[in-house]
Chain A
Amino acid sequence: MKRYLQVLWAVLWKDLRIELRTKDVFTSMAVFAVLALMIFNFAFELRVPDKSVVIPGVLWVAIIFSGVLGLGRAFISEKDRGSMAGLLLAPVDRSAIYFGKMLASLLFIFVMEAILLPLMVIFFNLNFLSWPLLLLLFLGTVGFATVGTVFSGLAVNTRTREVLLPVLLFPVMLPVLMAGIRATIGFMEGDTLADMMKWINLLIFFDILYLVVSYLTFDFVVEE
């Protein structure tokens, strides 16, 4: 177990170190998220009297679309550098590599969300930030990064990898996206935490399901 965690940490450390130097993934995700937000803001500002109706959709769509850019780089960058084989040669269960990559992607998306949320408050002039919303975002993002990382590993060996990732990912993400948006709408309409529990439970269920399936399949996904 110690070796497993050591490899997981090594992959995470390496991805964070490279990202801190290059800022490739984070810059593209953050710029895309801000642009999406601006476009949504201009598109809906004058037409929707109740902004709380559009905010959940805008929030989740901006996160998912910009997050795909980051998830796509998780393995494509390894393939482009020719370093993928180096990772796969590690004498340890390959799921440790998966979890290292997944945690790195998760951190990048969390940082992007930390920038996106205050900007949404400014753009939509509505303070909707609260702990229940952050909990929803956390659970939704975990599910997104979990399944997105494994699909990134799958898409990397295909010719149409940039297109294939969202095509594979979005249908599988629908339950998480639906639960996240429905719960956010409920929250903005004044639902209590108890009212939102069915959506939160659904998010937790899919997070666990994705995590288990990803853990079991990753070795086959990256196999030649």
Chain B
Amino acid sequence: MAKPLIEVQALRKAFGRHRVLKGLDLNIQAGESVVLFGPNGAGKTTFLRILATLSKPTSGTVRISGVDINDNPEGIRQYLGLVTHAPLLYGDLSAQENLRFYGRLYGIANAEKRIHELLERVGLLHRRKDLVRTFSRGMVQRMAIARALLHNPPILLLDEPDTGLDPQAAEMMTDFLREIGGSQRTVLMTTHHLERGLALADRVLILQGGRIRFDEQADALSYETLRPTYDRYVGTGVAL
């Protein structure tokens, strides 16, 4: 088996006395689409923030392409795209201006061409000159994905990107994520939506109590077979 793209070893994170991650071990291969389920407070967001170099682990190591993220965080950030439930966009800038700004942050050559291409892909080209604050939640989230893909990162981290979306918008986003995932990009997504998560996953993880409790290939799972396990770790009444 090839060397994993993302290697996580004995990862711990505590906020004061509150221990969120309690020795997390995980390897993710290049091109894998991994969906991470877990109850609220399980440490999903904390884990993604550590991978994105936005938060430092208390102990343990994270390597991306063999490089410890603490050794070269600036270099690692070039490999990552992050989508969270907060869009990381500026409401008082237009769609085009937002992407132009992020294009400058990432030093993208031919940014205008790439912006045009991405806006077309997320179906917002006709709204490119409109302020983002005039967009619906679904449109904002599509913009957030365009922002995260602007520098064409090999790793895409998605932290509950479907939060607050109506079912139609969430379905559109699932289709879009399936399309952009492909075999080239490595995707790690957290969600509370079991069915949607399964539709996107090559591999399913459940994080509970700061540790990975379940790790299976998605093709061996169905909604019906996963549901009891999900209920046991995550709790009933949460998954959709």
| Segment with Cβ contacts to A, from B33-41, B47-55, B191-199, B224-232 | B47-55
List chain B residues, Cβ under 8 A from A88: 54
Residue in contact with A10 in the complex, picked from B54, B80, B104, CB distance below 8 Å: B104
The distance in angstroms between the C-alpha atoms of A122 and B107, with both chains bound, is 48
List chain A residues, Cβ under 8 A from B107: 3, 6-7, 91-92
Residue pair B52, A89 in contact (C-beta under 8 Å): yes
Tell whether A6 pairs with B104 under 8 Å between CB atoms, given A17-B93, A91-B78.
yes
Q: Give, as a whole number of angstroms, the nearest-CB distance from B199 to chain A.
A: 27
Tell whether A7 pairs with B104 under 8 Å between CB atoms, given A85-B88, A92-B74.
yes
Residue in contact with B97 in the complex, picked from A7, A17, A87, A93, CB distance below 8 Å: A17
Residue pair B92, A22 in contact (C-beta under 8 Å): yes
Tell whether A224 pairs with B56 under 8 Å between CB atoms, given A13-B101, A82-B86, A91-B106.
yes
Q: Give, as a whole number of angstroms, the nearest-CB distance from B133 to chain A.
A: 10
Q: Mark A60-100, 1 if CB is under 8 A from B, else 0.
A: 00000000000000000000011101111111110000000
The distance in angstroms between the C-alpha atoms of A173 and B192, with both chains bound, is 48
Taking CB atoms and an 8 Å cut-off, the chain B residues in 57-95 that contact chain A are 74-78, 80, 82, 84, 86-93
The distance in angstroms between the C-alpha atoms of A18 and B89, with both chains bound, is 12
Residue pair B55, A224 in contact (C-beta under 8 Å): yes
Question: How many residues of A are counted as interface, with CB atoms below 8 angstroms from the partner's CB atoms?
Answer: 25
The distance in angstroms between the C-alpha atoms of A76 and B211, with both chains bound, is 33
Residue pair B80, A89 in contact (C-beta under 8 Å): yes
Name the residue among B74, B75, B90 with the largest chain A CB count within 10 angstroms.
B90
B102 within 8 Å of A (CB atoms): yes
* Cβ-closest chain A residue relative to B85: A82
B105 within 8 Å of A (CB atoms): yes
List chain B residues, Cβ under 8 A from A89: 52-54, 77, 80, 82, 88, 105
Residue pair A85, B54 in contact (C-beta under 8 Å): yes
List chain A residues, Cβ under 8 A from B104: 6-7, 9-10, 13
List chain A residues, Cβ under 8 A from B90: 14, 18, 81, 83
B203 within 8 Å of A (CB atoms): no
List chain A residues, Cβ under 8 A from B87: 82
The distance in angstroms between the C-alpha atoms of A6 and B74, with both chains bound, is 15
A223 within 8 Å of B (CB atoms): yes
B12 within 8 Å of A (CB atoms): no
The distance in angstroms between the C-alpha atoms of A22 and B76, with both chains bound, is 35
Tell whether A86 pairs with B56 under 8 Å between CB atoms, given A7-B105, A18-B92, A81-B90.
no
* Cβ-closest chain B residue relative to A18: B92
* Cβ-closest chain B residue relative to A88: B54
Q: Give, as a whole number of angstroms, the nearest-CB distance from A152 to chain B.
A: 18
The distance in angstroms between the C-alpha atoms of A16 and B53, with both chains bound, is 27
B147 within 8 Å of A (CB atoms): yes
Residue pair B82, A85 in contact (C-beta under 8 Å): yes
Can you pick out 9 interface pairs between chain A and chain B where the beta carbons lie within 8 Å of each other? A6-B107, A7-B104, A7-B107, A83-B86, A85-B86, A86-B102, A92-B105, A93-B74, A224-B55
Binding site for B on A (CB under 8 A): 3, 6-7, 9-10, 13-14, 17-18, 21-22, 81-83, 85-93, 223-224
The 9 closest A-B pairs by CB, nearest first: A82-B86, A86-B88, A10-B104, A91-B77, A224-B55, A91-B78, A90-B105, A18-B92, A14-B101
Binding site for A on B (CB under 8 A): 49, 52-56, 74-78, 80, 82, 84, 86-93, 97, 101-102, 104-107, 147
Given A82-B84, A91-B107, 5 other A-B contacts at CB below 8 A? A17-B93, A82-B88, A83-B89, A85-B49, A224-B49
